[in-house]
Chain A
């Protein structure tokens, strides 16, 4: 999933691009969340005794549990989530999907073996790898979100690309996903770990694309080339070129064509019929719904509807679900606190440095203080 080794490359070369924040810093922000990836995450993570949660008639409910409580947690912190679902996968992804299917089959086999051998630990491990998101999962989650009054968007193609388009158009502040290729799709801000459980106490990592490019000293085109070279979901990468080499090569030659031309063909084999142009095109102008046509609306939850669905159909405990709905309602009713930075624009960063002042350091720009008010003269 995503881009191999991109997180590390960014951490190494553009550390200033990543900032850790607490969830409470995001109040008042609208955030686009990759729902398809979240379903998958919840199916893997929300378990008890290593088994997925099930209703009485044996239907999986891990994903519903995850969406219900994690969404409430965000809403409680004043975040306005909008979920984005995958559409049809792009044709270029078929190779990757075939690989995933193969891995899943492999895992199923190993799971059986482990079960026969009574090896509990590896059985758990492999059973997690066999997880598959079905159409029913998607439909159920959509139904739940609708009842909760949380908007969702059905992407024509990749959900990450749609999230990025929403963020770029300013419809949302950021795209929240673990998939690093959302950056390659051009989201200005990427949030990681937003949908993680509170218990894990993971800070939210906020990655800014402009700072990534500045830190790597690359243009967006070069960044896309770098991601392709590192390895994305849409084509094979070149064997023998890891993150470090990819970076050096691209910095040296400036574009992927120039890198390919310089490569020793005996040492490195470029996959045959490498669909370089198509992949670039996919990243640059992916198939998305025009963000301007999307209207995002957060509404009051349908209490009875949720009870009907979650308690009567899916067998969740009524009191806990009602407690959750109450939290949703409370946060929908109260006026939301505005953010100061949506009124006043940043004019730059002031840095104080002790001792190790850099040689080329310009004298720190004197902050220009707008005389913001006082008594209005008249």
Chain B
């Protein structure tokens, strides 16, 4: 038996909305560590790993860990029936054929119940090695989204160059070229807008903008985003969900031919 009550239903709504374009289905894993999902996109270029710890819920109950095969498109259409301030309760029997979702409004006078049929899914699970990255950029998530949107006009690839001066995003295509540089800015007053860089070594990597823009759909969940890079390893883009979880995206770099 799995039961989890999420007082901020909006978190789940935004979460599913942000990953549904990248992956169409996946095995959600419910366990004593919380509700998690790891899934690759169909062309095996990007991976999303998300976790909502038990603290995110009140109460959280999971007797035995089990995977729930879920179509993200279907789940998202059901979640669209919930209002942003609703309390959402998820429930599944063991073994699970269905996931039941209950939405309660804050006034406590309306209850909606939905049932999602689960699917049989075989998904490949990847082991992600612990990595100390050469460059870590903490920045405003809406700024990141804006940069992806702007540079997408020019090219399908963006190169990200991190040095001690700051981070530069540049793209070149048939129309022309463009670049956006953000300087390190540790001014405490700037809050969510600050760009903070932790640098071991300068890096310059090229990525597909299409994927970065898909990751940037997570912006409503968190005002900050962290980009972690090392040469020749996948980029990690992380959005934290308050103190109770995260959404992490991994993206394989584009490789220049030797």
B122 and A370 within 8 A (CB): no
Does B143 belong to the interface (CB within 8 Å)?
A: no
Residues of B within 8 A of A (CB): 27, 29, 31, 36, 38, 40, 42-47, 49, 51, 64-69, 95-97, 118-133, 136, 157, 198, 206, 208, 226, 228, 233-234, 236, 238, 246, 248, 250-257
Chain A residues in 8 Å Cβ range of B27: 350-352
Bitwise interface map of A from 333 to 368 toward B, beta carbon under 8 Å scored 1, else 0: 011111111111111111111110100000110111
* A320 close to B (CB within 8 Å): no
Q: Is the interface of A mostly helix, strand, loop or mixed?
A: loop
The residue among B44, B51, B208 with the most chain A CB atoms within 10 A of its own CB is B44
Known: A338-B252, A374-B238. A369 touches B67 (CB 8 A): no
Question: In whole angstroms, how far apart are the Cα atoms of A348 and B68 in the complex?
Answer: 17
Name the distance in Å between A8's Cβ and chain B's nearest Cβ: 23
Which residue of chain A is the closest to B123 with respect to CB atoms?
Answer: A350
User: Could you list some 10 contacts between A and B, CB below 8 A?
Assistant: A337-B254, A338-B45, A339-B45, A340-B252, A345-B127, A352-B118, A353-B69, A354-B119, A363-B64, A368-B125
Q: Are A373 and B43 in contact (CB under 8 A)?
A: no
Indicate if the CB atoms of A370 and B127 lie closer than 8 Å.
yes
| Option from B45, B131, B228, B248 in Cβ contact (under 8 Å) with A337 | B45
B47, B119, B126, B131, most chain A CB atoms within 10 A: B126
Decide yes or no whether A332 CB sits under 8 A from chain B: yes
A340 to chain B, nearest CB (A): 5
Q: Which residues does chain A contribute within 8 Å of B251, judged by CB atoms?
A: 340
Chain A nearest CB from B220 CB (Å) reads 21
Is A372 in contact with chain B by the CB < 8 A criterion? yes
A373-B236, A374-B246, A375-B226 given; A350·B118 CB < 8 A: no
Contacts of A69 in B (CB 8 A): none
Asked if B127 and A376 make an inter-chain contact with CB atoms under 8 angstroms apart, the answer reads no
Given the interface pairs A336-B257, A372-B236, the reply to whether A351 lies near B95 with Cβ below 8 Å is no
With a cutoff of 8 Å between Cβ atoms, the chain A residues found around residue B129 in the complex are 344, 370, 372
Residue of A nearest to B234 (CB): A343
Contact A371 to B46, CB < 8 A, known contacts A340-B250, A349-B124:
no
Known A-B contacts A363-B64, A372-B131; A354 and B36 likewise in contact (beta carbons under 8 Å): no
Whether B128 and A335, one on each chain, are in contact in the complex, defined by CB atoms closer than 8 angstroms, is no
Cβ contact of B38, chosen from A335, A369, A373, cutoff 8 A? A369
Across-interface contacts of B120 in A (CB, < 8 A): 351-354
* 11 additional A-B residue pairs with CB within 8 Å, beyond A344-B126, A376-B133: A25-B44, A332-B257, A335-B256, A337-B252, A337-B254, A349-B123, A352-B121, A363-B65, A368-B125, A372-B248, A373-B128
- Distance from A134 Cβ to chain B, minimum over Cβ atoms (Å): 35
Q: How far is the CB of A234 from chain B (nearest CB, A)?
A: 37
Let me know if A316 is at the binding interface, CB within 8 A: no
Chain A, residue nearest B210 (CB): A337
- Asked if A27 lies at the interface with its beta carbon under 8 angstroms from chain B, I say yes
Question: Is A239 close to B, CB under 8 A?
Answer: no
CB contact under 8 A between A350 and B29, given known A376-B136, A376-B228 = yes
